[in-house]
């Protein structure tokens, strides 16, 4: 399958006009697209414009409500409980993390939970919102069930990513990882490429190894069983119980606290999320703490390399390097994603060639 590089600004303009076509304002559309394209800039194709068709279908099917906005159910100086009313995940998540950041600046910590929302893109976007304000940021979301528990063959937990970010120099620490071996979007990319999945990624409805992305995706969508394995694979010998436990931790901070559906009862528009911002100045001099983190990260990079390896990365480093390159050289978009984007443009009566021809 072929790719072509599309200028970032052209892609941004097209996607912004797409969301305006769904009824969002200019500012709201730009916020949604900023999250969407941040994934592509970071090199995370699974959560970039290849997801545009999923949002399009959810809007057309009434699973995302374009007129819905998050509202506060209850609030304290350090916490808030929000209801997103089935709104766009990116908009409601930005609102929630801004509230957490505001509380952290006032009290030292802000902890905001939210129910009845939708897919919000890469979790790192929101933890990095806090890091940009010189705070530690955390973000959690549950998803539809796609992870069978260790020794199971029925999907019970979602990909349930966890993101943590902290300011440092020259790059912040930015960890964002699904608690499954890979997120669902990665399977979508392999399915578009018509490539077999690597061993150890997923299992079929019998709980047996499966390398066919189309089969696993169909099983997830239609709740037939199987799914994507937890981090650590299928056996406790390789740490499967750890990935399963991380998925449960994410469920605790999302659906359990909000009272929303757990992943095995999930429906689109009923996702639960949490956002935490921490002013680490509560624990000492912020400049010294930041320098301590920066020093440790540099020591990691400079530590002895394995034979045949010439570089050690810290979390987020690859992504920030990708961003610099792609902002100037363009974002790779595969031909099947382009076909989907043309379909969306036709539906919204947009001239695709004028944007991206």
Tens-digit pLDDT profile for residues 8-23: 999 999 999 999 999 9
Cβ count within 10 A of residue 239: 15
pLDDT in tens, 329-341: 999 999 999 999 9
Q: At what angle do helices 317-329 and 26-42 cross, to 10 degrees?
A: 110
Q: Mean pLDDT, to the nearest integer, of 297-308?
A: 98
Contacts of 34 (CB under 8 A, 6+ apart): none
Asked whether the predicted pLDDT for residue 133 surpasses 90, the reply is: yes
CB 345 within 8 A of CB 56: no
Q: Residue 220: phi, psi to the nearest 5?
A: -65, -50
What's the mean pLDDT when you consider all of the chain? 96
Q: What 3-state DSSP class applies to 49? A: helix
Identify the bridge partners of residue 138 per DSSP, sorted by sequence position: 164, 276
What pLDDT band is residue 158 in, cutting at 50, 70 and 90? very high
pLDDT average, residue stretch 345-351 = 97
CATH number of 68-181+237-315: 3.30.1370.60
**In the chain, what percentage of residues exceed pLDDT 70?**
100
Domain boundaries, the chain: 1-61+323-357, 68-181+237-315, 183-228
Reported as a pLDDT band with limits 50, 70 and 90, residue 357 is confident
Compute CA distances 288 → 7, 107, 278, whole Å: 40, 21, 16
Ranking 73-82, 188-197, 322-331 by mean pLDDT, the lowest is 188-197
What 3-state class would DSSP assign to 114?
Answer: strand
Judged against a pLDDT cut of 80, whether residue 1 lies above it is answered with no
Name the residue among 135, 97, 109, 143 with its Cα closest to residue 263.
143
Cis status, amide bond into 170, omega within 30 of 0: yes
For residues 182 and 217, give the distance between their C-alpha atoms in angstroms, rounded to a whole number.
13
Q: What are the helix and strand counts (H, E) for the chain?
A: 13, 12
Tell me how far CA of residue 209 lies from CA of 29, 123, 228, in angstroms: 41, 28, 10
pLDDT at 207: 92
Across residues 194-213, what is the average pLDDT?
94
Mind giving me the DSSP string for 272-297? EEEEEEE-GGGGS-HHHHHHHHHHHH
- DSSP 8-state secondary structure symbol assigned to residue 236: G
What's the whole-number mean pLDDT along residues 132-148?
97
Assigned CATH for 1-61+323-357: 1.10.1530.10
pLDDT > 80? residue 244: yes
pLDDT tens track for 6-61: 999 999 999 999 999 999 999 999 999 999 999 999 999 989 999 999 999 999 99
* pLDDT (average), residues 251-280: 96
DSSP state of 167: -
Q: Please report the pLDDT score of residue 254 as a whole number.
A: 98
> Could you report the per-residue pLDDT of 226-238, keeping only the tens digit for each?
999 999 999 999 9
Pick from 137, 141, 124: nearest CA to 250: 141
- What pLDDT is recorded for position 269? 87
Q: Count the residues in the chain.
A: 357
Q: Is the pLDDT of residue 109 over 90?
A: yes
pLDDT at residue 268 is higher than 90: no
Within 13 Å and on the Cβ side, how many CA atoms surround 121?
29
In this prediction, residue 122 has a pLDDT band, given cuts at 50, 70 and 90, of: very high
CATH 1.10.357.10 fits 183-228, yes or no: no
User: Does the reported pTM lie above 0.75?
Assistant: yes
- Are 85 and 115 in contact, with CB atoms under 8 Å apart? no
> Cβ distance 96 to 141 under 8 Å?
no
For residue 303 the two structure tokens come to: 């530590």
Distance CA 48, CA 46 (A): 6
229 close to 242: Cβ distance less than 8 angstroms: no
């Amino acid at each position: 399958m072929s790719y072509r590089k599309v200028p970032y600004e052209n892609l941004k303009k097209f996607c912004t006009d797409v969301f305006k076509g769904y009824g969002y304002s200019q500012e709201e559309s730009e916020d949604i697209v900023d999250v969407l394209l941040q994934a592509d800039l970071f090199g995370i194709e699974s959560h970039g414009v290849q997801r545009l068709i999923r949002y399009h279908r959810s809007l057309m099917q009434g699973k995302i409500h374009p007129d819905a906005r998050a509202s506060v159910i209850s609030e304290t100086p350090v916490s808030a409980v929000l209801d997103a009313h089935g709104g766009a995940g990116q908009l409601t998540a930005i609102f929630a993390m801004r509230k957490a950041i505001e509380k952290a600046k006032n009290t030292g910590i802000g902890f905001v939970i939210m129910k009845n929302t939708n897919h919000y893109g890469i979790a790192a976007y929101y933890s990095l919102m806090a890091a940009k304000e010189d705070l530690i940021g955390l973000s959690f979301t549950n998803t539809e069930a796609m992870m069978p528990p260790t020794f199971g063959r029925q999907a019970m937990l979602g990909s349930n990513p966890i993101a943590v970010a902290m300011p440092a120099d020259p790059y912040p620490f930015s960890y964002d990882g699904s608690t499954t071996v890979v997120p669902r979007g990665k399977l979508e990319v392999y399915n578009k490429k018509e490539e077999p999945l690597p061993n150890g990624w997923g299992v079929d409805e019998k709980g047996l190894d499966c390398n066919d992305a189309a089969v696993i995706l169909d099983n997830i969508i239609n709740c037939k069983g199987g799914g994507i394995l937890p981090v650590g694979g299928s056996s406790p010998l390789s740490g499967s119980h750890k990935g399963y436990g991380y998925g449960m931790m994410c469920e605790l901070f999302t659906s359990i606290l909000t009272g929303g559906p757990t992943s095995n009862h999930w429906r689109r528009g009923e996702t639960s999320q949490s956002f935490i911002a921490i002013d680490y100045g509560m624990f000492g001099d912020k400049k010294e703490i930041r320098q301590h983190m920066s020093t440790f990260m540099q020591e990691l990079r400079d530590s002895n390399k394995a034979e045949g390896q010439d570089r050690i990365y810290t979390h987020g480093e690859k992504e920030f390097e990708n961003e610099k390159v792609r902002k100037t050289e363009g974002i790779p978009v595969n031909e099947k994603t382009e076909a989907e984007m043309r379909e969306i443009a036709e539906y919204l009566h947009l001239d695709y060639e004028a944007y991206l021809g």
